[in-house]
Amino acid sequence: MRKVIETLKNIWKIEDLRKRILITTLFVAVYRFGSYIVLPGINAGMLTKLHEQTSQGLLALLNMFSGGAFSHASIFALGIMPYISASIVIQLLAIAVPYFQKLQREGESGTRKINQYTRYLTIFILVFQAPSYLINLKMQAGPSFNSSLNWTLFMVTSTIILAAGSMFVLWLGERITDKGVGNGISFIILVGIIARLPVALGQELVSRMSDKAGGLIMFLVEMIFLLFVIAAAILLVQGTRKVPVQYAKQIVGNKQYGGARQYIPLKVNAANVMPIIFAQALMFIPLAIVGYSHVQDATGIARALTDHTGLWYNVIFAILIILFTYFYTAITINPNQMSEDLKRNNGFIPGIKPGKPTAEYIDDIMSKITLPGSLFLAVVAVMPAFAGVFGVKSEFAQFFGGTSLLIIVGVVLDTLQQVESYLLMRHYDGLLKSGRIKGRTSGVTA
């Protein structure tokens, strides 16, 4: 406890870090406040049916990602997911379309253009997604509408408000990245998920306590299993494979440089939590196509793709995660660049020739460690479906692995790593006595 208090004091002493934490807290408070601002013309006290609709199924998951804003008919109801969907499309285009490939190679100017196209596509998605949400709102919460409300005018104005709300959430995320702590977009999603945790935990406890036949014991078993899954998720985020690197000796004047053996820490899950976020965003697309108000009436393929506890949903979800893991790893890790960096610094992997053979060797290792990493990621992602089979309430089951847990673990470790970097840079002790925190953004360098 004394160590924790001392660390908090050290954090507060660093002016830049203190400002960043306060700015992050302010932006998060603005986001949470906005998630309770109801669309104009809606009576918040009459949204009972909407709350019931979003209490289970895929809509409950979507509501959790928006921090409850979806069920509150808030101006932030659509959250950050449209932007993530747009990012997926643009990154896929960067593989298939030469123009976007060229933009990627143009450095900072190309990145700015890609970000601009992503925003345009986000607005395009919102223009279609917002009316779908409003139609569902009318069907589920008809009595909440003002009797003198003009529906056509409401549709137009509310679509603009919902689109502006999502873009404002995106702006908040970018400001957190620039002026706060951690990755802003991921942090926005994290806040939305954590906001639902106390309610889900309370509901599960009440449900188990009402069961007189060993309900409390089952709740304790659930918590122990949850801790086990959290530990597994941390191992997945932090796991590395070390590749030995030998540096050639150089004598400059009277001093000798190099000659020491170091390691390249290749991450087992180099793509981190992004594959599961992208896969989840794609799994929300059938929900938008079917329409939020017609989810219960869906049949056939549509039903299978909107039932997050069903076999086919989880099989497709797992396959998408595996594919996105390889895709993101290919973007994140560049074996050719790593090989060139080693050669430039007079380094080499023992037994491997510099240049192309080194790049092929690193690529081969990445392929071998990415497969078990992606499979493990997929297993953790579909864990909530298995938790539901054992009687865990759907709200709490989302934290037994899945998108929720991996985002929490990944973003928290990433944020703690950034805080620790500030502490070590100012010659303070880190957050842990032994070793350093390995976040999602830990570099892969020689």
Answer yes or no: is 432 within a domain: no
Partner residues linked to 267 by β-bridges: 240
Answer yes or no: is 430 within a domain: no
| Of residues 332, 324, 328, the one with CA closest to residue 445 | 332
Tens digits of residue pLDDT in 230-253:
887 777 777 777 777 766 655 545
| Of residues 25, 324, 315, the one with CA closest to residue 180 | 25
Answer yes or no: is 435 within a domain: no
Contact by Cβ (8 Å): 356, 339: yes
Answer yes or no: is 226 within a domain: yes
On the question of pLDDT at 446 being above 60, the answer is no
On the question of pLDDT at 67 being above 50, the answer is yes
B/e letters for 217-253, b = 16+ CB within 10 Å, e = fewer, are ebbeebeebbeebbebbeebbbbbeebebbbeeeeee
Answer yes or no: is 34 within a domain: yes
Contact by Cβ (8 Å): 308, 57: yes
E strands in 60-209: none
| Of residues 411, 370, 432, 425, the one with CA closest to residue 183 | 411
**More confident site: 70 or 171:** 171
Answer yes or no: is 93 within a domain: yes
Nearest-angstrom CA–CA distance, 375 and 236? 11
Domain CATH code at residue 299: 1.10.3370.10
Contact by Cβ (8 Å): 188, 168: no
Answer yes or no: is 437 within a domain: no
pLDDT at 159: 92
Contact by Cβ (8 Å): 95, 289: no
Nearest-angstrom CA–CA distance, 259 and 247? 5
pTM attached to this predicted model: 0.75
Nearest-angstrom CA–CA distance, 161 and 153? 12
For the chain, the average pLDDT equals 78
Tens digits of residue pLDDT in 263-308:
777 777 777 777 877 787 787 777 767 666 566 666 667 777 777 7
Answer yes or no: is 434 within a domain: no
Q: Which domain holds residue 412?
A: 2-425
Total tally of structural domains belonging to the chain: 1
Nearest-angstrom CA–CA distance, 355 and 352? 9
